[in-house]
Amino acid sequence: MAASRQAGVPYPRLALTEGPDDLAAFQQWLSEAIPMVGALGITRMDRQGDTLTWQLALAPSLNDKGTGFGGALTAQATLLGWCWVTLWLRAQGRAQDVVVADASQRFHAPVTSDYHMMCSPQDSQGPIKLADRLHERGRGRITLDQKLYCGNTLCLEATGSYVVLPEA
């Protein structure tokens, strides 16, 4: 349970499954492993091909102006990328730690309603290159792009570089 989490104590990994992950079970584990996830307003996760999409409610991320708070939106984009890599690793049968190495974002328009975020590799060959690097060195890096839309309006573009650490 999230309330019993302590600093410096890793949360147990979600057991690997055969076949595709149950995204609802992954989201439940995520909210326990990272307590702030429950406050991010994620209402649904979907995956199609190399794209992971979240549906999000705006209410938990409102700022004083009644629009999306940039810090919350940035945190969501960073976490979405982390989830992309974690789920990709799980699909490869790998249980390795992922960290964000760097991230940037550009805001284009205010977020004024519930929204969705999409995450996919910046380079279509990124997953293949990551798989090769993991096979050769046991660690690797991939760059992912995240986009946030309110309806059809692009409000935020973000990019993150995620590192897969060697197995412990």
Residue 150 lies in a domain: yes
Residue 147 contacts by C-beta under 8 Å, 6 or more apart in sequence? 117, 118, 154, 156, 157, 158
Print the domain residue range for 142: 47-164
Residue 28 lies in a domain: no
Other C-beta atoms closer than 10 Å to the C-beta of 53 total: 17
pLDDT in tens, 94-136: 999 999 999 999 999 999 999 999 999 999 999 999 999 999 9
Dist. CA 72–CA 68, nearest whole Å: 8
* Reported pTM: 0.94
In CATH, what number is assigned to the domain containing residue 122? 3.10.129.10
The chain-wide mean pLDDT, for the chain, equals: 94
Residue 124 lies in a domain: yes
Domain count, the chain: 1
Residue 134 lies in a domain: yes
pLDDT in tens, 13-35: 988 887 778 899 999 999 999 99
Dist. CA 129–CA 146, nearest whole Å: 19
Residue 154 lies in a domain: yes
- Order of strands, sheet of 51-56, starting from the edge strand that comes earlier in the sequence: 42-48, 51-56, 115-121, 140-150, 153-164, 98-107
Residue 111 contacts residue 155 (beta carbons within 8 Å) = yes
- pLDDT tier, 2 (very low <50, low <70, confident <90, very high otherwise): very low
Give the model's pLDDT for residue 89: 95
Residue 27 lies in a domain: no
pLDDT in tens, 66-88: 999 999 999 999 999 999 999 99
Dist. CA 155–CA 148, nearest whole Å: 6
Torsion-angle region of residue 88: left (phi > 0), alpha (psi -120 to 50) or beta? alpha
- pLDDT tier, 1 (very low <50, low <70, confident <90, very high otherwise): very low
Residue 139 lies in a domain: yes
Q: Three-state DSSP class for 128?
A: helix
Residue 94 contacts by C-beta under 8 Å, 6 or more apart in sequence? 134, 164, 167
Residue 21 lies in a domain: no
